[in-house]
Amino acid sequence: MNYNPFQNFHWTLAHGRSLELGPRGVLMAIINVTPDSFSDGGRFSDTEAAVAQGKRCLSDGALILDVGGESTRPDAAPVSADEEQSRILPVIAALARETDALISVDTYRAETARFAVEAGAHIVNDVHGLQREPDIAHVAAQTGAGLCIMHTGRDREKLADVIEDQFHFLARSLQIATQAGIERERIVLDPGFGFAKDTEENLELMARFAELHRFELPFLVGTSRKRFLGAITGREPADRDAATAATTALLRLAGGAIFRVHDVANSRDALMMADAMLAAKKS
């Protein structure tokens, strides 16, 4: 395999924007506009608080703000499309108007994705890998949005080997994207840490992360405050930022491109150290 995850990848996004991935790690800040997120539920559930948090994250070093209106924790109560949209669309519109941030919408709904891009979002981030509402792929194709396609083990039979299951699931997702007319330069993948994966599976996925580069696409990783970090450290969600920063550094050295985090400042320092080490290895 000749693919080098540290070489430049020009990620093409909506509204004429783009982002260079590869040579330096990128931080994506989590903006939960929900009352029931597992780690910060309710803190940013109104538009003013969410926009203020987004601006803080930009100051701390985030390049992307990922705005979501429905919690993805396993026991979360579902919300309607109308409720999801009422939570996130004003936040996205305000951030697009008041900042120069790249904005991602965290949704699996095609309708929500379309409205979000119309409101100013540049990226669609689907935790169901285009397989819950495949029409979301057509939205991405028609709007020119960048696309994050995540692996999940929920609501299906997984293969025993964690890497084989990544290829089994994501190959189908990429087929959906291709059939919708989405070019590869618009796509990044996400291995879905914590989504129907136990502690051992998450650790094996980290240890074998480099095997995922056979996809020859950049990877976004989201370990922030996840349950498996608590299983290892014994810490509650709000106290897992040091563990999150450690995984940021480790997975950057393994070739991760984008890091989706709650605490931008801590992971920024970890990412800077990892990038400095990578630069030293090249010199």
Catalytic residues: 226, 260
250-255 long-range contacts, Cβ below 8 Å, gap at least 24? 250/206, 251/206, 251/209, 251/221, 251/223, 252/25, 252/278, 253/277, 253/278, 254/206, 254/209, 254/210, 255/5, 255/6, 255/209, 255/210, 255/213, 255/219
| Nearest in space to 36 (alpha carbons), one of 258, 243, 245, 237 | 237
Tokens of 150: 């995540």
SS3 188: strand
**Ramachandran region of residue 41, left (φ > 0), alpha (ψ -120 to 50) or beta?**
beta
SS3 276: helix
| Nearest in space to 254 (alpha carbons), one of 236, 239, 269, 274 | 274
CA of 165: how far to CAs of 33, 134, 172, 199, 209, in Å? 31, 20, 11, 16, 13
Tokens of 244: 């999150």
Tokens of 80: 């309607």
What angle in degrees, to the nearest 10, is found between the helix axes of 110-119 and 81-98? 20
How many CB atoms within 10 Å of residue 175? 12
- Placement of tokens 């290892």 in the chain: 232
Distance between CA 45 and CA 282 in Å, rounded?
44
